[in-house]
């Protein structure tokens, strides 16, 4: 689901990188080996060179953790990861990918800044015979056939985990009759992430509430906080002020939680009468639930950047070996979880920034 305005911007990006794509195609015949390791060794991971084009790292613990997970997995199998940071610039990302192609990496892992804007680089990688694994950020369906696999969490299903817990807590706290007024706050209008996470949450919530026909769910219009705490404060304060009977607030990223809490406090309704749910599995939120198990925050769905990074490298090795059985549908969702006050202690790891998969997950 891509907005018209975004498509126009993407077309402008494609025009801007046309020269890069042309150069990429011309240079594919000059591809050299990135390492002296034999193909037999590389098939096990030893000596495999993975080029990693990252949409951004600076200022984001989530992205930093994603890359660190990939690097750790690569080290465990004897591979190396060459990371280039596009810093949120699609033109720069296309140039970075061309650099990696020219270096002769064996596989590319791409966390795309724009779902259609890197199309020239995908074409260049295909021409060079370098398989592509995408992670976290998906691509436009038109270019997916030229990639090996997309690794991410299923955002709808993950959001549903938080919705189910929030609904159960709501019934416990507010009873099995009456109105439950709920609001979600996401990133931007038309944002695919917001839509997936919110729709998933509401599905999980409504599936649970369906068992109590005496409850009416009043879903307020989504608010938007640009994925930033300071931008989330005013929208939540305003909706809470206008709806003092608000009962459930769903933040679609832990990053916004500080602003959400402040907004509810300024509206005078933060406390026992509110249930909060969130998305990301940030360790700060886990600690909050561990320290204050009866507080407003009762559920946090995890999207596990470390596990996405490690899985991306595992799939990169499969891509080198042309083993499509490891990703038969070109999409591989990692298994995610939901952290609650009941299990927060088992997930809390002070040395980590985000929740990781536990043994048995």
Mean pLDDT of 85-111: 97
pLDDT reported for residue 346: 96
CB 152 within 8 A of CB 197: no
Q: Are β-strands 297-302 and 338-339 bridged in parallel, bridged antiparallel, or unpaired?
A: antiparallel
For residue 64, pLDDT over 70 is answered with: yes
224, exposed or middle or buried, with CB in 10 Å at 0-12, 13-18, 19+?
buried
* Helix residue ranges, H only, the chain: 4-16, 18-27, 39-42, 61-77, 90-103, 119-128, 155-174, 192-209, 229-242, 257-267, 283-291, 305-320, 344-347
Predicted local confidence at residue 288, as pLDDT: 97
CA nearest neighbour of 112 among 82, 81, 144, 80: 144
pLDDT band at 36 (very low <50, low <70, confident <90, very high): confident
**Average pLDDT, stretch 33-54?**
88
Q: Any residues with CB less than 8 A from the CB of 300 and at least 6 apart, and which?
A: 162, 254, 277, 278, 279, 280, 281, 282, 285, 286, 289, 338, 339, 340
Looking at residue 202, its pLDDT comes to 98
77-89, pLDDT tens digit by residue?
A: 999 999 999 999 9
Look at residue 360 in the predicted model and tell me its pLDDT.
Answer: 54
d(C-alpha 186, C-alpha 231), whole Å: 11
Determine contact, residues 220/154, Cβ cutoff 8 Å. no
Look at residue 246 in the predicted model and tell me its pLDDT. 98
Are the C-beta atoms of residues 301 and 281 closer than 8 Å to each other? yes
**pLDDT(26) > 80:** no
Q: Three-state DSSP class for 274? A: coil
Residue 29 confidence (pLDDT) = 33
> pLDDT-based confidence at 324, cuts 50/70/90?
very high
Return the pLDDT at 22.
Answer: 40
Name the nearest CA neighbour of 70 among 60, 61, 79: 79
| pTM listed for this prediction | 0.85
- pLDDT at position 8, please? 42
Mean pLDDT computed over 236-246: 98
Rounded distance between C-alpha atoms, residue 231 and residue 236, angstroms: 9
User: How high is the pLDDT of residue 361?
Assistant: 56
Instruction: Give the chain's length.
Output: 361
What pLDDT score does 152 carry? 96
Instruction: Check residue 359 and give its pLDDT.
Output: 65
Segment 173-194 mean pLDDT: 94
| pLDDT tens, position by position, 265-281 | 999 999 999 999 999 99
Q: Is the pLDDT of residue 23 over 80?
A: no
Residue 31: which pLDDT band, with cuts at 50, 70 and 90?
Answer: very low
pLDDT value, residue 278: 98
The pLDDT value recorded for residue 274 is 98
Query: Is 305 a residue whose pLDDT tops 70?
Result: yes
Q: How confident is the model at residue 15 (pLDDT cuts 50, 70, 90)?
A: very low
Q: Mark residue 101 as left, alpha or beta (left: phi above 0; alpha: psi -120 to 50; beta: remaining).
A: alpha
The single residue listed with the structure tokens 């499969």 is 318
């Amino acid at each position: 689901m891509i907005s018209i305005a975004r498509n126009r911007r993407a077309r402008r990006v494609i025009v801007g990188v046309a020269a890069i794509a042309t150069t990429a195609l011309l240079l594919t015949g000059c591809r050299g080996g990135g390492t002296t390791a034999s193909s037999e060794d590389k098939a096990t991971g030893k000596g495999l060179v993975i080029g990693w084009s990252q949409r951004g790292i600076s200022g984001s613990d989530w992205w930093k953790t994603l890359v660190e997970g990939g690097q750790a997995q690569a080290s465990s199998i004897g591979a190396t990861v060459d990371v280039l940071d596009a810093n949120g610039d699609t033109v720069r990302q296309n140039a970075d990918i061309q650099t990696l192609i020219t270096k002769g990496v064996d596989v590319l892992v791409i966390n795309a800044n724009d779902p259609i804007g890197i199309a020239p680089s995908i074409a260049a990688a295909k021409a060079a015979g370098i398989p592509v694994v995408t992670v976290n950020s998906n691509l436009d369906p038109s270019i997916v056939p030229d990639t090996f696999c997309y690794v991410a969490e299923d955002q709808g299903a993950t959001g549903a985990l938080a919705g189910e817990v929030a609904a159960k807590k709501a019934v416990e706290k507010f009873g099995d009759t009456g109105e439950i007024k709920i609001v979600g706050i996401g990133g931007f209008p038309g944002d695919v992430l917001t839509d997936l996470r919110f729709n998933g949450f509401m599905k999980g919530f409504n599936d649970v509430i369906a068992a109590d026909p005496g409850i009416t769910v009043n879903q307020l219009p989504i608010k938007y906080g640009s994925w930033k705490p300071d931008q989330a404060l005013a929208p939540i304060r305003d909706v809470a002020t206008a709806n003092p009977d608000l009962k459930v607030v769903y933040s679609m990223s832990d990053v916004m939680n500080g602003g959400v809490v402040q907004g509810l406090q300024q509206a005078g309704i933060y406390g026992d009468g509110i249930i909060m749910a969130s998305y990301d599995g940030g360790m700060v939120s886990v600690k909050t639930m561990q320290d204050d198990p009866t507080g407003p925050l009762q559920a946090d769905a995890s999207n596990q950047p470390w596990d996405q990074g490690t899985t991306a490298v595992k799939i990169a090795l499969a891509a080198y070996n042309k083993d499509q059985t490891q990703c038969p549908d070109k999409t591989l969702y990692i298994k995610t979880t939901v952290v609650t006050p009941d299990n927060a202690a088992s997930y809390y790891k002070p040395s980590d920034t985000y929740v990781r998969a536990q043994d048995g997950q």
